[in-house]
Chain A
Amino acid sequence: MMPFALGNGVFRLVGAMILIALITVILDRRSRQ
């Protein structure tokens, strides 16, 4: 569940945003190779 359940609110917000952003950008790049 990390980073959805751990840490304070800002930590959770930033962690969740970075996680989904990285996955999206990486998989988009692989989709185009």
Chain B
Amino acid sequence: MYGGHIGIALAGKGFKSTIPMWLLVLATQLPDWADAAVCSAGSAGTSEMWSHSLPAVAVLGLMLAIPYFASSRDIAAASLIAMIVVSHAVADYATGLKPTWPGGPHIGLELYHRPMMDFVVEGVVIVIGWMIYRRSLAPEKRQTSPVTTLLVALMLLQLAASVSFSLFPGIKKC
């Protein structure tokens, strides 16, 4: 999943507006950043196990949530951050084929092989997340240009990603 992860971060902002947006975006992307780091370190064959398996996302979620709780003393916000990290793996089970745990099966619907369906599913997640996100804004700011531009930009980026999956299938991440 690509833009859909940001949709989940937007929903997180709608539920807990005190969490900075940059932290919510980091939380929702953290397994992919871990994947890129492990890939760059040369462990291509095991990068997804270290970044996207259920034990991996649980550890990554705690790595972000515990320091946030230590600084904010907000257990609800820290729990939400951990859940958003874990949601990354759950969302990727829809679009990709990801590991579950060491020795466990790889599961997923592999929507990346059906780019139009991928765009529809991720687009729905973006729109729902954006609608929840708007609750974090004052009522008079919910119809402003930046708010609308955010939705349009995310949908265009997702369209570009889905089209690239169609035009360039099979390019390895590592």
Give the B-binding residues of A (Cβ under 8 A).
1, 4-5, 9-10, 12-14, 16-17, 19-21, 23-25, 27-32
Q: Determine if A23 and B153 form an interchain contact, defined as CB atoms under 8 angstroms apart.
A: yes
Q: Determine if B174 and A9 form an interchain contact, defined as CB atoms under 8 angstroms apart.
A: yes
Measured as residues with beta carbon below 8 angstroms from the partner, the interface class of chain B is 35 or more
A-B contact count (CB 8 A): 78
A10 to B44: give the CA distance in the assembly, Å.
Answer: 10
Q: Determine if B2 and A16 form an interchain contact, defined as CB atoms under 8 angstroms apart.
A: yes
Return the contact of A17 from the options B33, B39, B168 (Cβ within 8 A): B33
Among B60-68, B79-87, B97-105, B156-164, the stretch that binds chain A is: B156-164
Q: Determine if B157 and A20 form an interchain contact, defined as CB atoms under 8 angstroms apart.
A: yes
B146 contacts across to A, CB distance below 8 A: 27, 30-31
A21 contacts across to B, CB distance below 8 A: 6, 22, 25-26, 29
Residue B144 at the A interface, CB < 8 A? yes
A14: nearest chain-B partner, CB-CB = B36
